[in-house]
Amino acid sequence: MDGAQNETQESEIKWYVLKVQTNREKSIRDSLERRVKREGLEECFGQIIIPTERIVETKAGKKKVREQKLYPGYIMVQMVLNDETWYLVRDTTGVGDFTGSAGKPHPMDLAEVERMLGLEQKKEEEPTRVKIEFKVGEVVKIKSGAFESFEGEIDAIDEATGKLSVLIEIFGRQTPYEVEYHEVERP
Beta bridge partners of 76: 17, 49
Q: pLDDT value at position 32?
A: 94
Q: What's the pTM value of the predicted model, to 2 decimals? A: 0.59
Helix axes 83-90, 25-39, angle to 10 degrees: 140
Question: Cα separation of 92 and 97, whole Å?
Answer: 10
- pLDDT at residue number 8: 40
Q: Is the separation of the CB atoms in 129 and 66 below 8 Å?
A: no
Specify the DSSP element, H or E, that contains 22.
none
* CB neighbour list of residue 1: distance below 8 Å, 6 or more residues apart: none
SS3 for 158-175 is ECCCCEEEEEEEECCEEE
What's the confidence (pLDDT) of residue 88? 93
What would be the CATH architecture of the domain defined by 2-125? 2-Layer Sandwich (3.30)
- Per domain, the residue ranges of the chain are 2-125, 139-185
Taking the chain (187 residues) in runs of 10, the rounded mean pLDDT of each run is 43 87 92 94 91 76 79 90 90 86 77 71 56 88 88 88 88 89 87
Q: Tell me if domain 2-125 and domain 139-185 are identical in fold.
A: no
Q: What CATH number should be reported for the domain whose range is 139-185?
A: 2.30.30.30
Q: Which of 48, 43, 50 is nearest to 24 (CA)?
A: 50
Number of residues that make up the chain: 187
